A and B are shown apart, each in its own frame.
Chain A
Amino acid sequence: GQQLNQSPQSMFIQEGEDVSMNCTSSSIFNTWLWYKQDPGEGPVLLIALYKAGELTSNGRLTAQFGITRKDSFLNISASIPSDVGIYFCAGSKTSYDKVIFGPGTSLSVIP
């Protein structure tokens, strides 16, 4: 079945550093979503992307819909301790297909 791959699987960074992570698919998607999950809580939708090449920001977070339609990227600038958590990408092939989630990237921020 369809799978999404996220890299890196985990990362440890110093507070203040910028972070980059990506998500790739073997299929073309028309929607990419990025969520963050804090420990013991449900995921929160951060950014939604609907058009190839689209670049969308949400505060210090910026996500891009790859032009191949098979990947997406999330960047976090000037990381802070509350950025700690698991970041999931998700995508769907059409507006009516179910969303598929990646395995997540675990982010740890060292003060």
Chain B
Amino acid sequence: DGGITQSPKYLFRKEGQNVTLSCEQNLNHDAMYWYRQDPGQGLRLIYYSQIVNDFQKGDIAEGYSVSREKKESFPLTVTSAQKNPTAFYLCASSIDLVSGLNQPQHFGDGTRLSIL
């Protein structure tokens, strides 16, 4: 079945450590996104990518970095500069450029990141 796979499901980070969250999709979607979810809040956009080798900052990009070397992969690195990284991270995709920012269509099941 087609879909979005996020790994790992749970991740623990030590102070001062960078960690990378994986997101892979086999839907052949052009656009991919990373969101952060905190309790009682809506999803906030970290980064998005409309095509390979291109990505744009979202609303809360500070302390995060991404790459888009392949269409199916959009990994997110949470750097040590992100002082409050504990959250649920969601990756999403949408089918084409026109509907890209308008409508994240498919979400992964998320990665829960915690600080040790």
> Using Cβ atoms and an 8 Å threshold, which residues of chain A touch B48?
98
Decide: A42 near B110, CB < 8 A? Known: A33-B103, A95-B102, A98-B101.
Answer: yes
Can you list 10 A-B contacts with CB-CB less than 8 angstroms, sorted by A residue number?
A4-B42, A31-B102, A31-B103, A42-B6, A42-B91, A44-B107, A48-B103, A88-B43, A98-B45, A104-B42
- Complex interface residues of chain A between 20 and 75 (CB less than 8 A to chain B): 31, 33, 40-45, 48
How many A residues touch B, CB cutoff 8 Å? 24
Does residue B113 face the partner (Cβ distance < 8 Å to A)?
no
CA separation between A48 and B41, bound complex, in Å?
Answer: 21
A102 touches B (CB below 8 Å): yes
Complex-state Cα separation, A37 to B101, whole angstroms:
20
Q: Give the B interface residue count (CB, 8 A).
A: 27
What is the predominant secondary structure among interface residues of chain B facing chain A?
A: loop
Q: How far is the CA of A48 from the CA of B95 in the complex (A)?
A: 15
CB pair B110–A100 under 8 Å, yes or no, is no
Interface positions of A (Cβ within 8 A of B): 1, 4, 31, 33, 40-45, 48, 88, 90, 92, 95-104
| 5 residue pairs, one from A and one from B, having the closest CB atoms | A42-B107, A101-B42, A101-B43, A98-B101, A41-B109
